[in-house]
Amino acid sequence: MKIAIAQINPKVGDIAGNAALVEAFARRAEALGADLAVFPELALTGYPPLDLLEKEDFIRDNLRALKRLADLGLKTALAVGYVDRNPAKKGKALLNSIALISGGRIAARRHKSLLPTYDIFDEARYFEPARENRPLRFKGEVIGLTICEDIWAGTALLPRRLLYRNDPVKVLAGGKASIVINISASPFYRGKSSLRLRILSRLARKMRAHIVYANQAGANDELIFDGNSFALSPSGKVSARAAAFAEDLVLVDTNLPAAAPAKAGKVGAAERHEGAAEICAALTLGIRDYFGKMGFRRAVLGLSGGIDSAVVAALAARALGPGNVTGVLMPSQYTSPRSSRDALALARNLGIRTMNIPIKNIYGAFLRELKTGGSRGEVSLTMQNLQSRARGSVLMALANANNWLTLATGNKSELAVGYCTLYGDTAGAIAPIADLFKTEVYRLAAFLNSGGEIIPAAVIKRPPTAELKPGQKDQDDLPPYKTLDEIVRLYMEENRTPAEIVGKGFKKALVLSTLRRLEANEYKRKQLPIALKVTEKSFGYGRKMPIVKSLDFIR
C-alpha cells in the first residue's frame, strides 16, 4: 500500500482553514498515487482546542468539515483526526477521533482510548475514552487506527509510573494488524523526537508490522510540534521520514523494502536536529507561528547588551526577518557605555532596526512623584524595580503605537527564583527563552555564532548584570548559574527531593534556600507571558502549583 504522511500545521479553531489545508495535501497525495493519506490528531480543530470544545458551534463545524472532505470523492483515502460526539448516554459528550474516508464516505471511525492528564495534557476534561479499538480491513491489509497516546502504553515515553489499564496496541497485535497508523499531536521537548523513533522501532519489530506515525508540525501558544513523522518497516527500519519543524508530505510503499529516505522539505529528512540546533529550530518556529497565527508581523524588545536579549533578538530575526525586529536601547545613569556599544554591534550583525530612548528622566519623575529613594545614596530594590518598569512601559507603549508585539527576554534560571521584575522585564506577549536555563542560553549563543559571529564575543564573555545599580552582578544575588541550574533541573525535571539533591553534592543550606525561593515566587510566574516549552517540565501551563501554600515540604 502507498501511504502518504501529511504533516500539516493547523491553527487552533480555524476549522475552515484546516479543512482546506487537509484538502490541499490530500490532492497532492492523490497526484503521487497514494492509496491513503494520513493526517495528524485533531487536524480539523487544531491541537489543543481546550475549552473551544465546550462550544456547540465548534463541534458542529468540525463535523461538517469532515463530511465535506468525504464529499470530495478523492481516489486517495484519508485518515483524519477530528472531534466526534459520544453516542452513549453516559460519560463525556465528546470523543477524540480518527475517520477513515474512502469512496466518498466515512468508511470507519475509531476513538482514542488513552487520554493523557499529565503535564500540559487534560484530555479527560473533555473526552470519553474508547472502550476498544478493533483492527479493520482496507486495501487487502489489516490496519489499526490509533491516536497519539494509544501507541505509547507501557513505553519509556510516558512519565514514570504512569500505567494505563489497557493497551490498544496489544489488542491490534492480537488482531494481526499488519499496518498500525498513529496520528499524533505530540508537543516537542529536547530529545523527544529521537526517543519516539527508538521506541516505535522496537514496537514495529515486536509486532512485525509497519508503523506509520503522523505528527503535527507548527506551534500553538506555548507548545511547539516538531513534526518528524516517519514510517517503519516490520524490521524497525525507517522507510520514510518527514521534515523537522516544518510541514511536509512523504510517501511510503509498504510493499517495498525500507531504504534511506530522500531529502525533503525545508529541513531535509536526513538532517536531524540535535542539541542547540534543535532548540534553535524549535524556538524559531514557536516565535514565527505565534506572530503569524495571531496576525502580527513585527516584534520589539529591549536590547541591554546582555546575553539574554541578544539571543532573543537573534531568534526573532530568524523567525520574522531582520526588517521586522526593533531593538530598543533604554540606558539609565547606571548603564555602562560598553552595554550600548555591544547592543549596537549585535543589531548591526543582525541587520535589525534600533531605537535609543533613555529612561533617566522617566525614572527621575518616578522618584520625585513617589518621594522614594535609597538612604545614603543607596539604590534600593524599589528604585531598581522602577527602572525595569520604566523600560517595560516604554516597550509596551511602542508595541501599542505600532501594532508590534513585545518579546520578554527572561530565562528559566531567573524565573525560577524570581530574579525578575513584574511589569518590568517580564512585560511582553511571549517569552521565547523562558524555558532555557542560563547555561543553555550560552550554548544557544555559541550555536548561533557557529557560522560566523552574530552575537558579539564581548556579550558572551561579560559577567551577567542587570545594571540597575553601580557595580551590580547577577552573582551578587544568585549562586553561580551552573550550580543554580542543576539544582532547579533536578527539582523540576527529575522531581528530586531536597535530600536527594543534597546527595548530589550540593550544600543543604543552598538547596533549601534555592527551592524555597523557587516556590515562593510562583505568584510572579503566574503573571508572566507564555513561555515556549522546550523541556519536559517548564514553568508554564503544565506545572499546576498553588500560589498560596506552606513551604514546609522543603526540608
CATH of the domain at 46: 3.60.110.10
Residue 484 is assigned to a structural domain of this protein: no
Query: What are the backbone dihedrals phi and psi of residue 372, each rounded to the nearest 5 degrees, phi first?
Result: -120, 155
Residue 463 is assigned to a structural domain of this protein: yes
- The residue from 273, 292, 318 where one domain ends is 273
| Distance, CA of 45 to CA of 98 (rounded, Å) | 12
Residue 212 shares a structural domain with residue 155 = yes
Averaged pLDDT, 427-445: 97
Higher confidence at residue 183 or residue 540? 183
pLDDT band at 161 (very low <50, low <70, confident <90, very high): low
Q: Do the Cβ atoms of 360 and 332 come closer than 8 Å?
A: yes
Residue 503 is assigned to a structural domain of this protein: no
pLDDT in tens, 484-509: 999 999 999 999 999 999 999 999 99
Q: Choose among 534, 551, 554, 294: nearest CA to 432.
A: 534
Rounded to the nearest 10°, the torsion over CA 141, 144, 145, 149 is -150
Residue 548 is assigned to a structural domain of this protein: no
Residue 218 shares a structural domain with residue 324 = no
Q: Out of 2, 112, 192, 537, which one is annotated catalytic?
A: 112
Residue 229 shares a structural domain with residue 297 = no
Residue 219 shares a structural domain with residue 336 = no
Q: Check pLDDT > 80 for residue 333.
A: yes
Considering the entire predicted model, what is its pTM?
Answer: 0.93
Residue 346 shares a structural domain with residue 309 = yes
Q: Report which DSSP code applies to 547.
A: S
Q: Out of 148, 278, 293, 486, which one is annotated catalytic?
A: 148
- The residue from 443, 475, 507 where one domain ends is 475
Residue 219 shares a structural domain with residue 306 = no
Residue 356 shares a structural domain with residue 262 = no
| Mean per-residue pLDDT over the chain, rounded | 93
Task: Determine whether 128 is an active site residue.
Answer: no
For residue 180, the enclosing domain spans 2-273
Say what percent of the chain tops pLDDT 70. 95
Q: Which residues pair with 226 in a beta bridge?
A: 217
Cα 542 off chain centre by: 11
pLDDT band at 278 (very low <50, low <70, confident <90, very high): very high
Q: Check pLDDT > 60 for residue 133.
A: yes
Residue 163 shares a structural domain with residue 67 = yes
Residue 221 shares a structural domain with residue 327 = no
Residue 137 shares a structural domain with residue 239 = yes
Task: Determine whether 90 is an active site residue.
Answer: no
pLDDT band at 163 (very low <50, low <70, confident <90, very high): low
CATH for 324: 3.40.50.620
Residue 113 is assigned to a structural domain of this protein: yes
Q: Out of 2, 30, 41, 222, which one is annotated catalytic?
A: 41
Task: Determine whether 11 is an active site residue.
Answer: no
pLDDT band at 270 (very low <50, low <70, confident <90, very high): very low
Residue 489 is assigned to a structural domain of this protein: no
Residue 70 shares a structural domain with residue 185 = yes
Q: How many domains does the chain have?
A: 2
Q: Check pLDDT > 90 for residue 297.
A: yes
Q: Choose among 121, 113, 76: nearest CA to 97.
A: 113
Residue 267 shares a structural domain with residue 289 = no
Residue 351 is assigned to a structural domain of this protein: yes
- The residue from 450, 475, 500 where one domain ends is 475
